[in-house]
Amino acid sequence: MLQFDGRRAVAVAGFRPRGMTTLGIECLDSLHGRIGPREDRRVWLERLAFALSCKCPFDGSNPIDCPLHGLRYLDEIERLDWLNCLTDDELEYLAAYHLCCISEKIRLLEVATEEARRAARLEEPVE
């Protein structure tokens, strides 16, 4: 286990990484004990952050300017440990950052597609 600011890291609730024993899986079943929207939001954010820590959702790459760039080189357990130590606000930031980033990438792709269409129309022979 990793230590961050004196807090012990544990796996994200409900996630079952490869190679985990049955005993380890039983410890993750704490999801059923969580009650209330705040805890449900936390679980959702933890799962989202883990998915984002695997690769860019836009193109599967690992952009150098992404806040999770360095984390993507770690194995699953190390990523889970690191993400588990984040506060709710930090997890919210990662979710918001990636939503803005993917929205901007989609916008730029649409602009490039439109420019390519215009250029293709200009190259068409006039009859």
- pLDDT block averages, 10 residues each, the chain of length 127: 38 39 40 56 91 92 93 94 93 94 93 92 75
- Exposed (0-12), middle (13-18) or buried (19+): which is 52, by Cβ within 10 Å? buried
Measure the CA–CA gap between 10 and 12, rounded to whole angstroms: 7
Looking at residue 81, its pLDDT comes to 93
Global pTM value? 0.63
Looking at residue 117, its pLDDT comes to 92
Looking at residue 122, its pLDDT comes to 83
H or E element: which one contains 4? strand 3-4
CA quadruple 35, 36, 40, 46: dihedral positive or negative?
negative
Looking at residue 105, its pLDDT comes to 93
Looking at residue 120, its pLDDT comes to 87
Looking at residue 56, its pLDDT comes to 92
Q: Which two tokens stand for residue 90?
A: 């930090």
Looking at residue 54, its pLDDT comes to 94
- Exposed (0-12), middle (13-18) or buried (19+): which is 37, by Cβ within 10 Å? exposed
Looking at residue 30, its pLDDT comes to 46
Looking at the structure of the chain, the number of domains it has is 1
Residue 46 domain boundaries: 3-123
3-state helix, strand, coil in the chain (%, to 5): 60, 5, 35
